[in-house]
Amino acid sequence: MDALIGESELDSTLRGQLRAIRLSLQEITQQFRDDIYLTNQRSRQWLHSALKEALLGFNLSIDLSYPALIGRYEHLLNEAIFEIARNSLRHSSARKLEISYSLDQNHLQLKVSDDGTGFNDARTPNLGLQLIKQTLTLVAVSYTCESNSSGTTYTITIDRRLLEHRSPS
């Protein structure tokens, strides 16, 4: 559509109409994505079951007993964790996946690690890595991904204010 809009011989009225259509499509796409997140509620129970099913044959050490996040943040986090695990399965030759957490006065910190072959940060991110990045950007205060030939570890730091049950300050 952008190529058509940029066509030098295109009438300016048509160009304006095409731009309006493009903006409408962008808004519809964003609304559709938002609706998917609302209807596709990725619960902690779903995550646990999906990990066990997808990673059949893996050595799993999964602790999902951390406090729930409020609203859609819980579902977004679950989706990101599942995508990290799916990347371990599909791309790393991993046989082990660990999920652990720690909690302090300000943050929940999750670690998701595998024992796979790792990946090179310089490569063009695949769709899965882009999804993880976009989702963690919405949920986390910060996150890191360290990857080498011994495996990959995501460290996800979440503001404690996003937890469902907070101790009084």
| pLDDT tens per residue across span 82-132 | 999 998 988 889 999 999 999 999 999 999 999 999 877 545 567 778 889
Instruction: Report how far residue 163's alpha carbon sits from residue 77's, in angstroms, rounded to the nearest whole number.
Output: 12
Residue-wise pLDDT for 124-166, tens only, equals 567 778 889 999 999 999 999 999 999 999 999 999 999 987 5
Answer yes or no: are the C-beta atoms of 149 and 114 closer than 8 Å.
Answer: no
- Residue 168: what pLDDT? 44
Between residues 98 and 24, which one has the greater pLDDT?
98
- Residue 155: what pLDDT? 98
What are the two backbone dihedrals, phi and then psi, of residue 81, each rounded to the nearest 5 degrees?
A: -60, -45
pLDDT tier for residue 55 given thresholds of 50, 70 and 90: very high
pTM: 0.72
Q: How many CA atoms lie within 13 A of 162 on its CB side?
A: 20
- Residue 51: what pLDDT? 94
Give, to the nearest 10 degrees, the angle between helix 127-139 and helix 71-91.
150
- Residue 41: what pLDDT? 66
Most confident of 13-27, 35-49, 70-84: 70-84
